[in-house]
């Protein structure tokens, strides 16, 4: 089967060795991308239309896209010499109807948080275009100020009307704040679908196998020949025998294939699919997931791996919903003007998130913590055993704690009894004592010593009796 529309010869470069394709599927949308993009502008963001590019309204929009196009162009008609052309584009989609509670009125100050106050002196022209195709006889909305001119392009049912403003002339009044005032509230109606619609998703369950499925829908009245290009990383192992369409398998064939090599290059799969008018085709590619080395996993590996977007190239018979770079001009007007006949369009699908088998990255940390804890607990006793000298210590016979407690209680009771006796003796009246003179014991001091010795002997006998009872 051959491609009758001749996409390669008419719309692609004859020498494909000059074609390079790269993708950053996990690139985050942030101001880090906007800052270097603005520095490539001739006046940066200090003058001109770039002054409207504030990060806050830009990254709160419903959709935005930054692009840089580089291509060689001829300096004259004879093309004796060429130069490299750089085209920067910013696409921004905002919905004022949601923020204005059904009202569609908008202005530059509302959309970009500031009006236009200057133009870039290095620019040869600075113009603003407003699509007024649906504003027939000014019945839908009114532009203020009035446009300088109206440009019409296309033919038949595919007509496009553009209101043109020259920013240099508009800035004669110091500032340029373009406004649109609608006559009525917004009413949601039917929007014509695009000529070709593409959706891509991952099917399957578990972490062993899966499938990449692509749906191609042709809403037009003519059949389309679509070139589907898929660039996949090497850790997805494709089964090429499973690549087929679910309807009319003979209407698709593989035009180019580059197999992957582990850790060297990825897959390049290109197929040409014929889609009848008003039909939908499903193309599926089954794959298995490879197990990476533990150093090859990125941070937050459990989040998954992003797969780059696929590319769909097609030549549409009508230029509806199409705005492409012109081969003859470099201005925005050349891109917005509808050309008669077929138009080449390249569509990028959404990226995919695929989860791979991931090891337990916390296991080495747990092993290290456990090993260090065991070493720390074993180091102390081993150090004491190897550095200290063990010596036997003589242990004296000591009374039990219970006997010590009993002796203390007994001593306390004795003291209390002695104190009671002394208090009673002082309270009683002293009786007269008759002392007989004895020539043998005339010395009173000796008598007192004898009494003390008798009392001490009585105390000893009492303590011995108590010890016997305890035993």
Residue 286 has phi, psi (to 5 degrees) of -85, 150
Residues 338 and 279 placed together within one structural domain of the fold: yes
Tell which of 182, 209, 228 closes a domain: 182
Residues 175 and 204 placed together within one structural domain of the fold: no
Highest-pLDDT range among 60-74, 143-157, 262-276: 262-276
- Res 190: pLDDT: 78
pLDDT in tens, 72-130: 877 777 778 888 888 888 888 888 887 777 778 889 988 888 888 888 888 888 889 89
Alpha-carbon distance values, 214 to 107, 203, 272, 308 (Å)? 40, 11, 13, 14
Q: Is residue 23 part of a domain?
A: no
Name every residue whose Cβ is closer than 8 Å to that of residue 183 and which is 6 or more positions away in sequence: 139, 140, 141, 142
- Edge-first strand listing for the sheet containing 179-182: 106-107, 179-182, 141-144
When pLDDT is cut at 50, 70 and 90, the band that residue 436 belongs to is very low
Highest-pLDDT range among 399-403, 453-457, 465-469: 399-403
When pLDDT is cut at 50, 70 and 90, the band that residue 401 belongs to is confident
Q: Is residue 321 part of a domain?
A: yes
- Edge-first strand listing for the sheet containing 236-245: 196-203, 209-218, 280-289, 236-245
Residues 144 and 239 placed together within one structural domain of the fold: no
Residues 50 and 148 placed together within one structural domain of the fold: yes
For Cα atoms 244, 250, 253, give the angle at the middle one, nearest 5 degrees: 60
- Res 8: pLDDT: 41
Q: In total, how many domains does the chain have?
A: 2
Residues 50 and 163 placed together within one structural domain of the fold: yes
Q: What's the mean pLDDT in 142-151?
A: 88
Instruction: Report cis status (omega within 30 of 0) of the bond before 145.
Output: yes
Cα dihedral sign, 398-401-403-408: positive
- Whole-number Å distance between alpha carbons of 256 and 311: 14
Q: Is residue 448 part of a domain?
A: no
Q: Is residue 12 part of a domain?
A: no
- Res 452: pLDDT: 66
When pLDDT is cut at 50, 70 and 90, the band that residue 1 belongs to is very low
Residues 279 and 231 placed together within one structural domain of the fold: yes
Q: Is residue 404 part of a domain?
A: no
Q: Is residue 322 part of a domain?
A: yes
Q: What's the mean pLDDT in 291-307?
A: 89
Residues 60 and 115 placed together within one structural domain of the fold: yes
Identify the residue with better confidence: 164 or 183.
164
Tell which of 327, 354, 381 closes a domain: 354
Q: Which residues of 439-462 are buried (b: 16+ CB within 10 A; e: fewer)?
A: eeeeeeeeeeeeeeeeeeeeeeee
Q: Is residue 414 part of a domain?
A: no
Residue 142 has phi, psi (to 5 degrees) of -125, 130
- Give counts: helices (H), strands (E), the chain: 10, 19
Domain that holds residue 62: 31-182
CATH of residue 335's domain is 2.60.40.1170
Identify the residue with better confidence: 249 or 313.
313
When pLDDT is cut at 50, 70 and 90, the band that residue 232 belongs to is very high
The pLDDT of residue 33 is above 70: yes
Q: Is residue 237 part of a domain?
A: yes
pLDDT in tens, 310-322: 999 998 887 666 6
Residues 159 and 103 placed together within one structural domain of the fold: yes
Q: What's the mean pLDDT in 183-207?
A: 84
> Over pLDDT 90: what percentage of the chain?
15
The pLDDT of residue 364 is above 80: yes
pTM assigned to the model: 0.66
Residues 47 and 89 placed together within one structural domain of the fold: yes
Identify the residue with better confidence: 186 or 58.
58
Provide the token pair at 112: 């970009």
Residues 175 and 202 placed together within one structural domain of the fold: no
Residues in the chain: 471
Tell which of 354, 369, 393 closes a domain: 354
- Res 207: pLDDT: 80
Q: What is the DSSP letter of 261?
A: B
- Whole-number Å distance between alpha carbons of 347 and 197: 9
- Res 262: pLDDT: 92
Residues 135 and 233 placed together within one structural domain of the fold: no
Highest-pLDDT range among 61-75, 156-170, 357-371, 413-427: 357-371
> Over pLDDT 70: what percentage of the chain?
76
- Whole-number Å distance between alpha carbons of 22 and 311: 12
Residues 143 and 228 placed together within one structural domain of the fold: no
């Amino acid at each position: 089967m051959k491609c009758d529309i001749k996409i390669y010869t008419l719309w692609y470069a004859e020498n494909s060795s000059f074609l390079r394709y790269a993708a950053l599927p996990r690139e985050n949308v942030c101001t880090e991308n906007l800052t270097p993009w603005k520095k490539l502008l001739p006046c940066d963001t200090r003058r001109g239309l770039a002054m409207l590019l504030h990060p806050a309204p830009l990254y709160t929009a419903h959709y935005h896209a930054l692009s840089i196009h580089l291509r060689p162009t001829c300096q004259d008609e004879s093309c004796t010499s060429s130069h490299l052309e750089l085209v920067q584009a910013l696409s921004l989609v905002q919905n004022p109807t949601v923020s204005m509670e059904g009202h569609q009125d908008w202005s530059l100050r509302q959309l970009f948080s500031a009006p236009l106050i200057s133009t870039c002196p290095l620019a040869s022209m600075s113009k603003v275009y407003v699509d007024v195709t649906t504003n027939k006889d000014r019945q839908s909305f009114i532009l203020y100020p009035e446009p300088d001119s109206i440009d019409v392009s296309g033919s038949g049912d595919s007509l496009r009307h553009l209101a043109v403003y020259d920013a240099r002339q508009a800035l004669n009044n110091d500032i340029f704040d373009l406004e649109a005032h609608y006559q009525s509230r917004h009413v949601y109606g039917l929007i014509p679908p695009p000529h070709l619609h593409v959706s891509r998703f991952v099917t399957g369950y578990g972490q062993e196998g899966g499938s990449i499925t692509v749906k191609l829908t042709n809403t037009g009245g003519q059949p389309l020949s679509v070139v589907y290009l898929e660039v996949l990383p090497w850790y997805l192992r494709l089964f090429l025998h499973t690549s087929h369409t679910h309807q009319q398998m003979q209407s698709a064939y593989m035009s180019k294939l580059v197999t992957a090599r582990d850790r060297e290059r990825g897959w390049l799969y290109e197929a040409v699919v014929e889609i009848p008018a008003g039909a939908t085709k499903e193309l599926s590619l089954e794959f298995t997931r490879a197990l990476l080395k533990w150093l090859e996993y990125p941070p937050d590996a459990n989040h998954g791996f992003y797969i780059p977007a696929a590319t769909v190239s097609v030549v549409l018979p009508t230029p509806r919903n199409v705005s492409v770079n012109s081969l003859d001009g470099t201005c925005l007007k050349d891109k917005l003007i509808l050309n008669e006949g077929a138009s080449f369009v390249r569509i990028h699908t959404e990226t995919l998130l695929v989860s791979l088998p991931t090891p337990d990255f916390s296991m080495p940390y747990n092993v290290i913590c456990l090993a260090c804890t065991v070493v720390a607990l074993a180091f102390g006793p081993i150090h004491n055993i190897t550095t200290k000298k063990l010596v036997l210590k003589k242990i004296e016979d000591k009374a039990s704690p219970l006997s010590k407690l009993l002796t203390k209680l007994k001593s306390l009771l004795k003291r209390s009894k002695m104190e009671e006796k002394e208090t009673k003796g002082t309270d009683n009246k002293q009786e007269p004592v008759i002392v007989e003179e004895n020539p043998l014991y005339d010395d009173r001091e000796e008598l007192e010593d004898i009494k003390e010795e008798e009392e001490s002997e009585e105390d000893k006998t009492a303590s011995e009796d108590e010890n016997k009872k305890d035993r």
